[in-house]
Amino acid sequence: MGLVAVCSRSTSRSSYACIMVTMMLLLAYMPCEALLSSTFYDKMCPNALNTIRTSIRTAVSSERRMAASLIRLHFHDCFVQGCDASILLDDAASATSERNALQNLRSARGYEVIEAAKSQVESIFPGVVSCADILAVAARDASVAVGGPTWTVKLGRRDSTSASLSQAETDLPRFSGGLEKIISLFDNKGLSARDMVALSGSHTIGQAQCVTFRDRIYNNASDIDAGFASTRKHRCPTNDGNGNLAPLDLVTPNSFDNNYFKNLIQRKGLLESDRVLFSGGSTDSIVSEYSKSPATFSSDFASAMVKMGDIEPLTGSSGVIRKLCSAIN
């Protein structure tokens, strides 16, 4: 109100200066994600995205499960300090690795795939493309590689010079999380309950370790299909096989589709954090909608990935461009 009043009283001689001040103030208050652009590398390194795409397609062709791992890696990066590639850092004097957080330890994977893509980009355009952007592009390309949706990735992120193990352990959802807790964690990052359910749909691909679902399949509760639980017990005994894997989607584990939501309605969600999405709570209607409309799910998933990619990026002179994604140069 004060700025408008000052401008209205300005003379014609000072009106230009007033307009310039107004523009500068508006720019100062613009959110940092506004500095991201899908064309950020078009002039500096026009083949960067094609180089990353080829690298990711090769990795997913070699191991279909890698698509889920790369999407999850981007997600776990953005939820800790923003989308800054902090999850890729090894332990160092200035950074305690987020890889050691309970939610990442022995489960987050794909680090070497991102490093390989970075190496290829560095060989053509050294010191230009950030690891944070490679993570964001890799998640999109991984989705497309298994039949999932595509989206326009905004670029221009820079890499952090630090990591936060403590923030990873508090801000990342857990496989045993309740619905309200999960909704709260996403809300803290500017993501709605609908965004959360859509992003959870990435469990249509990928696998989980026995230790993450053992309690659920052996609790003999009414919230799990008995036949489904019996099948899962074959590779997940009560006292052994913690690292044994099972697909999150029993029907089409290697294809990005909406069967995950159909499974939830049939009481065949593998993790407790899956089950709670359709358990008489506030997200039941969203699960039902996605189970009936794969197009709606795909569209919402893509939109939620774009929103997630906007979480607190480092831009401009903040951060660095790492030469190796696992180390601060």
Q: Which residues make Cβ contacts (< 8 Å) with residue 113, sequence separation at least 6?
A: 55, 56, 59, 66, 69, 70, 138
Residues at the annotated binding site for Ca(2+)?
Answer: 77, 80, 82, 84, 86, 98, 204, 249, 252, 257
For 21-25, which contacts have Cβ atoms below 8 Å and span 24 or more sequence positions?
Answer: none
- Residue 35 — very low, low, confident or very high, per pLDDT cuts 50/70/90? confident
pLDDT of residue 3: 36
Span 72-84, average pLDDT: 98
List phi, psi (to 5°) of 37: -150, 140
- Among positive and negative, which fits the CA dihedral 198, 203, 209, 215? positive
Residues at the annotated binding site for substrate?
Answer: 173
pLDDT score of 2 more than 60:
no
> Is 179-304 the same fold as 47-172?
no
pTM: 0.89
Q: Where are the domains of the chain?
A: 47-172, 179-304
- Residue 86 — very low, low, confident or very high, per pLDDT cuts 50/70/90? very high
Residues at the annotated binding site?
Answer: 77, 80, 82, 84, 86, 98, 173, 203-204, 249, 252, 257
Establish whether 76 is a catalytic residue.
yes
pLDDT > 70 fraction of the chain, expressed in percent and rounded:
89
Q: Which of 65, 74, 76, 262 is catalytic?
A: 76
pLDDT of residue 237: 96
- Residue 259 — very low, low, confident or very high, per pLDDT cuts 50/70/90? very high
Q: By the 8 A CB rule, do 273 and 197 touch?
A: no
Q: 47-172: which CATH topology?
A: Peroxidase; domain 1 (1.10.520)
CATH no. of 179-304: 1.10.420.10
List phi, psi (to 5°) of 177: -70, 145
